[in-house]
């Protein structure tokens, strides 16, 4: 059962990372144009500004 002392914090930390990641994507407006972003990969000459 001692393994729990490591595994429980590990699972909690991993989940916290997931949550932090979700909040980060939200703050960077990554859910605003799901269809468009998928297509934009194919646009060659488009210098998409990275500053936002």
Partner 1 sequence: MTMSACPACDAAPYAQEIAGRKSADGDIILSLPGIHCAGCIGTVERSLKATKGVQDARVNLSRKRVTITAKGMQADPLIDVLAQAGYEAHALDAPMLSTVDADAKGRMLLIRLGVAGFAMMNVMLFSVAVWSGAALATQQMFHWLSALIAVPALFFSAQVFFQNAWVALRVGRLNMDVPISLAIILAAGLSVYETSIGGEAVYFDAALSLTFFLLIGRYLDHRTRIAARSAAQELSALASPNALRLNGDIHETVPLTELQVGDLIRVLVGMRVPVDGEITNGTSDTDRSFLTGESLPVRVQQGSVIAAGEVNLTGPFTLKVSQVGEDTTLARMARLVENAEGARNKYTALADRAAQIYAPAVHLLALITFLGWLFLSSDVGLALNIAISVLIITCPCALGLAVPAVMTTATGRLFRRGLLVKNGTALERLAEVDAVVFDKTGTLTEGHAKINTDAMDAVSLSVLAALARASHHPVSRAIAAALPASILPAELTDVTEHSGKGIAAKWKGQTIRLGRDDWVGATSSPAIRIGDTLAVPLTFSETLRDGAADAVKRLQERGIPVYIFSGDTEDAVAGLARKLGVMQARARMQPNDKLNEIKAMSDTGAKVLMIGDGLNDTAALAQAYASISPASALDASRAASDIVLLGRSLAEIPNAIATAKSARKRVIENFSIAAGYNFIAVPVAILGYASPLAAAIAMSASSITVLLNALRVR
Distances in Å between the Cα of 42 and the Cα atoms of 31, 39, 47, 48, 52 are: 19, 6, 12, 12, 20
CB of 15: closest distance to partner 1 in angstroms? Answer: 5
SS (H, E, C) 8-28: HHHHHHHHHHHHHHHHHHHHC
Spell out, one character per residue from 7 to 46, where the chain touches partner 1: x when CB under 8 A holds, - when not: -x--xx--xx-xx--xx--x--x-xxxxxx--xx-xx-xx
Q: Which residues bind partner 1 (CB under 8 A)?
A: 1, 4, 8, 11-12, 15-16, 18-19, 22-23, 26, 29, 31-36, 39-40, 42-43, 45-46, 49
């Amino acid at each position: 059962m001692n393994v729990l002392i490591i595994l429980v914090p590990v699972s909690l930390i991993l989940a916290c990372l997931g949550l932090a990641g979700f909040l980060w994507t939200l703050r960077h407006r990554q859910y605003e144009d799901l269809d468009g972003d998928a297509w934009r990969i194919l646009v060659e000459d488009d210098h998409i500004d990275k500053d936002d």
